[in-house]
């Protein structure tokens, strides 16, 4: 199941409001899908990406469609949030990379982040998603590596989701026990990226979102 655009927009505002601004994406925008809301404006470019910071409190996040995200708690590098867009309750843990690299080096990108969402009304639990900060090469796969295990990601525009849904629980378990997760992908212009996420606090953040969205 792919992420719903309405509440993805809510999450994007958390990233834009709570994390330091990043350089504008070097890639051309992906074609807009018909009958879908426009994405929020991208942050103004900066000469270089700023260090990763923790998600902001809800005071920095404006309501979207009547849904105001609520910060449940900050656990290490991961923030736990809940929101209710269109009356549908969601919970998610979210983090930014602790390290970002590109090949060729120093290519500017929009903010990248990973979130793990639970949507009770859709019977979705701990769905792993990544936003890479540029449109992926059409038809390409990305990957997330935890320790010695690699999981393939299906990509669309700037997003990635686990390709084999039966492996998702295994991925989440590995992330709960691991030290870091490494996301690799290739942009529409051929830039290769390697983003490292610290998994410190993830297990606690998922416990909190699991309590909130049973």
pTM over 0.85, yes/no? no
Domains of the chain: 5-25+39-212 (2.60.40.1880)
Distances (CA, A) of 214 to 18, 47, 210: 26, 43, 6
The helix or strand, by DSSP H or E, that contains position 150, with its residue range, turns out to be: strand 149-156
Closest CA to 10 of 66, 52, 76, 80: 66
Rounded-to-integer distance, Cα 33 and Cα 126, Å: 26
For the chain, 214 residues long, give each residue's pLDDT as a single digit of tens: 455 555 555 555 555 555 433 333 344 343 333 333 344 444 444 444 333 334 333 334 444 445 678 999 999 999 999 998 888 899 999 999 999 999 999 888 899 999 999 999 999 999 999 999 999 999 999 999 999 999 999 999 999 999 999 999 999 999 999 999 999 999 999 999 999 999 999 999 999 999 999 8
Rounded-to-integer distance, Cα 134 and Cα 155, Å: 11
The helix or strand, by DSSP H or E, that contains position 203, with its residue range, turns out to be: helix 202-212
Closest CA to 42 of 136, 105, 108, 114: 108
């Amino acid at each position: 199941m792919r992420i719903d655009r309405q509440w993805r927009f809510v999450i994007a505002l958390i990233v834009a409001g709570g994390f330091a601004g990043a350089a504008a994406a070097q890639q051309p925008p992906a074609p807009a899908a018909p009958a879908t809301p426009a994405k929020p404006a991208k942050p103004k470019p900066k000469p270089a990406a700023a260090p990763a910071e923790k998600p902001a409190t809800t005071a920095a996040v404006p309501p979207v469609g009547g849904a105001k995200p609520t910060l449940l708690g900050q656990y290490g590098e991961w923030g736990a949030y809940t929101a209710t867009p269109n009356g549908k309750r969601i919970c998610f843990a979210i983090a930014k990379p602790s390290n970002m690299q590109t090949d060729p080096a120093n290519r500017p990108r929009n903010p990248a982040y990973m979130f793990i969402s639970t949507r009770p009304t859709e019977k979705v639990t701990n769905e792993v998603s990544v936003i890479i900060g540029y449109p992926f090469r059409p038809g390409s796969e990305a990957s997330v590596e935890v320790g010695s295990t690699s999981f393939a990601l299906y990509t669309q525009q700037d997003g990635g989701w686990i390709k084999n849904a039966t492996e998702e629980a295994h991925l989440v378990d590995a992330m709960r026990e691991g030290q870091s997760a490494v996301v690799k992908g290739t942009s529409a212009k051929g830039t290769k990226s390697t983003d490292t996420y610290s998994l410190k606090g993830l297990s606690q953040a998922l416990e909190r979102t699991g309590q909130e969205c049973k």
